[in-house]
Amino acid sequence: MLHLNVLLKLRNFKRPKLKLWTPKTVNTPKAEALDSKNGKMEKKNRFIIQLNWVDYFTLSGVLWSSLSIVLSLSGHFAFALCLLFVAMGVDAFDGILARKYGLTRDFGRYLDSFVDVLDYLVAPAIFLYCWGFTGIIYGLVLVFFMGCGIIRLSVFNQVGNLKGTESDKLSYWGMPVFWSVFIIAAAYLMAMWVNKFVVFLILAIVLCIYSMLMLYNDRFYKFQSIKIILILVVGGMALFALLGFGESVFKHFWILIGTALFLTLPIVVGGTLHMVFVTKQWLNVLAVPIQECWFGANKTWRGFFVMPLVTIPGVWLIQLIEPFVQNGLLVSFQEYSTVILGLALGLGYVLLELPNSFIKRRLGVAPGENPEQCRYCFILFDQLDSGIGCALAYYLLSDIPASILLIQVAIFPIVALIVKRCLYFFKLKNTYL
């Protein structure tokens, strides 16, 4: 009976369904590669990221910066700067190419920033150290510069470029890091005619200001014109490549240019102070035309009286700073009378303006204007006439070589246009021509 009951229970017993153990699916590249439709394994990239051709172009900046570091360590500083401009060109065009061909992505921005650390922070710092920018103070300046640059690039990784509210023009948040190349390039050129101690002192101040501007909460202009980028990059490459191949020749060339610019400094000071008198309407009693019919209303006795006087401080200034830049000058002003030379330069400036004014009045052109016919010739002569007058004053009162005076006359229009733009910007002049 017992056996019968056991058999009945075993017969009615329902066997539980056992759940077989299966391993959990691991989210790996191989598992993700399984095609759910056909069950076949797709071929996947073996590396953690797939680079496009713009990424490879960006990475070429590592090559140029590394070669620049090697040249800095070898003492070939001109060639090192040349390659830094090459790296800058790569950095400028990779973003343009990525946007043009639709290859923009977050990884590209991250990659660009990491390469920028080498291009604009590490390589320039090594360049300056090898060039002699050493010591505790200068070392701290370099550390501060690199630290601010890294923070600036980290912020760029997060936000990228800023778009304008009223236009699609891009701008930087904080001053961009690539300005470091321009700064050290300017310092290198400056050292050709200025004492290196003075250059390093100025450079330390500029780097500190620049480092803080990299973190300054404001928009900064972004170069987007391909022509401007090419001019800056190719010009820098060519200049420092030529300096590398013939540094002594080009050093003499820059000394000539520097000496000619030095000759124009008293006129720049005098012309600026004269415009202050005109804008503030000082000595208005002398604001009487010399001969309105011949020269117009703008040529007054105040100009003839004030311009020679205010040029004297300009001569005093160049005599003051000459000892600091004497290695880069081909002339000396210490033996000349400050008053006589200043009066002669100011008088030459205003006298040689009169023939140009006389011709324009005969053509019926209003004061301060230029005729439509041969307009650019008159604009050029407007800037050139005073330079010729100053060169004649130097020729009569000094023993400055005629070749330097000719260079001074040739570059005077460029200097005059720059100064007039600045005076117009600061509202000391009504027009910028």
Whole-model pTM over 0.75 = no
20, exposed or middle or buried, with CB in 10 Å at 0-12, 13-18, 19+? Answer: exposed
**Percentage of the chain with pLDDT > 90?**
44
pLDDT for position 203: 96
Q: How far apart are the first and last CA of the chain?
A: 127
Q: How confident is the model at residue 168 (pLDDT cuts 50, 70, 90)?
A: low
**Of the given ranges (16-25, 85-94, 100-109), which has the lowest mean pLDDT?**
16-25
Q: How confident is the model at residue 35 (pLDDT cuts 50, 70, 90)?
A: very low
Domains of the chain listed by start with CATH number: 53-245 (1.20.120.1760), 251-425 (no CATH)
Count of residues making up the chain: 433
pLDDT for position 45: 67
Q: Which two tokens stand for residue 356?
A: 């140009």
pLDDT for position 349: 94
285: which DSSP letter? Answer: G
CA-closest candidate to residue 181, choices 113, 63, 245, 91: 91
Higher per-residue pLDDT: 319 or 372: 319
pLDDT for position 30: 46
Mean per-residue pLDDT for 108-114?
88
114, exposed or middle or buried, with CB in 10 Å at 0-12, 13-18, 19+? Answer: middle
Q: How confident is the model at residue 105 (pLDDT cuts 50, 70, 90)?
A: confident
